[in-house]
Amino acid sequence: MNPVLEVHDLDVSFDTSVGSLRVVRGVSFSVGAAETVAIVGESGSGKSVTALSLMRLHDPDKTKISGSIKFKGTELLTLPEARMRTVRGNEIGMIFQEPMSSLNPLMPIGDQIAEAVLLHHDKSRAEARRRALDLLVQIGIADPQRRMREYPHQLSGGMRQRVMIAMAMACDPEILIADEPTTALDVTVQAQILGLMRDLKTRTGSSIVIITHDLGVVAELADRVVIMYAGVKVEEGTIAEIFSQPAHPYTVGLLGSIPSLGCSRSGGPLTEIPGQVPSPSRVAVGCSFAARCGLTSSICLEIEPRLENVSPRHGVACHHKIRTPVA
């Protein structure tokens, strides 16, 4: 099966006043049809930057992107801007972290959803509005006729994120990119949004790339997981492999920092990963996780580990792979 999205050796750097910052370094992953891939990492790991690159949403004047992003075989990085516009919102939909500020405050939400339809389809305003209404029903908004005419400030955060999802799904995209879609929401609302996304996925069969730091979200939604650290992919595998046999010390650390109810995974108290993600301006030689890792040896400080497979779909970039399941 051909992947819908293939990212190869993606490199993103930003021009800043202090020089060029390389925030994503050689990241590769692919997303199959109807597959959900989670990109997981702490703040500053480059996961959101990666997501925005997929749609080329960075300021082209200040960003250098190299590598390859292929969507159904078409290279997106070299696509002319006018052609890229027919991909955005139409073949790839995107929802963002901040539902509060991501909707235009001066436009009724019905118009905002209808606009997504009108931008890509030769439809009348009335048809587009019917489609918008239909989408509002699908995402479970009560009294959709009235909500159509309401402005974002009249809706709750959860409802706004539903509207964002409706907007992203308006043209039945092949891929939905969700950049931390639940981070800004209350826990109960988070569960509803995740449920809605799972629901839509089974109904429309679209692929999802979800960016998150929340392994709970990953467990709810993902088929495969890409773990990022300091701009690098450090581990990749199916959800079962990552949760039961994490091989990178960082992944182990992430898993150890989630509280669990009932059958506790480690049986012990919550652990944390000491320190923080290094700033991209000070990336040293060797493994970027070395400063925070418990297994660091001299090789870690000298040579950057390459990604090696421990099983057909499970890859790890570490000199000291953990082979025993944490059980």
Partner 1 sequence: MLYYIVRRLLMLPPVMFIVASIVFGLLYVTPGDPAAMIAGDQATPEEVERIRISMGLDQPFYIRFGVWIWQVMNGDLGTSIFANQPVVHMIGQRIGPTFSLLTLSLVVSVAIAIPVGVVAAWRRGRAIDRVITSLTVLAFSLPVFVVGYLLAFSFSTTLGWLPAQGYVPLADGFAPYISHLLLPSLTLGLSYAAILARTTRASMLDTLTQDYVRTAVAKGAGPRVILYKHALRNASVPIVTIVSIGIATLMGGSVITESVFSIPGIGRLTLDAILHRDYPVIQGVVLLFSASYVLINLITDLAYTVLDPRIRY
Choose, by CB under 8 A, the member of 25, 120, 224, 233 that binds partner 1: 120
Region of residue 42 (phi > 0: left; psi between -120 and 50: alpha; otherwise: beta): beta
Point out which span in 7-15, 162-170, 196-204, 289-297 binds partner 1 (CB under 8 A): 162-170
**86/276 with CB nearer partner 1:** 86
Point out which span in 160-168, 196-204, 276-284, 299-307 binds partner 1 (CB under 8 A): 160-168
Choose, by CB under 8 A, the member of 42, 98, 127, 223 that binds partner 1: 98
Q: Is 232 helix (H, G, I), strand (E, B) or coil?
A: strand
Residue 79: CB minimum distance to partner 1, A: 13
Angle between the N-to-C axes of helices 157-168 and 125-138, in degrees from 0 to 180, rounded to the nearest 10: 130
Burial tier of 314 (Cβ tally within 10 Å: 0-12, 13-18, 19+): buried
Going by C-alpha positions, the residue among 116, 117, 166, 168 that lies closest to residue 140 is: 166
The interface with partner 1 within residues 42-61 (CB under 8 A) comprises: 55, 57, 61
- What would the two tokens of residue 308 be? 């090696």
**204/238 with CB nearer partner 1:** 204
**58/292 with CB nearer partner 1:** 58
Rg for the chain (alpha carbons), in Å? 20
Residue 133: CB minimum distance to partner 1, A: 18
Going by C-alpha positions, the residue among 84, 86, 94, 83 that lies closest to residue 50 is: 94
Choose, by CB under 8 A, the member of 46, 89, 278, 315 that binds partner 1: 89
Alpha carbon 318 to chain centroid, angstroms: 23
Q: Is 36 helix (H, G, I), strand (E, B) or coil?
A: strand
Counting contacts by CB under 8 A, is residue 125 touching partner 1?
no
Choose, by CB under 8 A, the member of 23, 94, 254, 318 that binds partner 1: 94
Choose, by CB under 8 A, the member of 40, 49, 116, 232 that binds partner 1: 116
Choose, by CB under 8 A, the member of 102, 190, 206, 212 that binds partner 1: 102
Choose, by CB under 8 A, the member of 33, 34, 79, 119 that binds partner 1: 119
Choose, by CB under 8 A, the member of 16, 86, 279, 281 that binds partner 1: 86
Distance CA 183, CA 156 (A): 15
**b/e burial code for range 145-164 (CB count within 10 A of at least 16 → b):** eebbebebeebeebbbbbbb
Counting contacts by CB under 8 A, is residue 71 touching partner 1?
no
Would you say 39 and 10 are in contact if contact means Cβ atoms under 8 Å apart?
Answer: no
Burial tier of 66 (Cβ tally within 10 Å: 0-12, 13-18, 19+): exposed
**43/154 with CB nearer partner 1:** 154
Distance CA 45, CA 141 (A): 35
**100/307 with CB nearer partner 1:** 100
Alpha helix locations (H) across 11-124?
Answer: 47-54, 81-87, 109-120
Choose, by CB under 8 A, the member of 26, 151, 204, 304 that binds partner 1: 151
Counting contacts by CB under 8 A, is residue 315 touching partner 1?
no
Counting contacts by CB under 8 A, is residue 122 touching partner 1?
no
Point out which span in 20-28, 64-72, 115-123, 318-326 binds partner 1 (CB under 8 A): 115-123
Residue 120: CB minimum distance to partner 1, A: 6
| Residues in touch with partner 1 (CB under 8 A) | 55, 57, 61, 82, 85-90, 93-94, 96, 98, 101-107, 115-116, 119-120, 151, 153, 164, 167-168
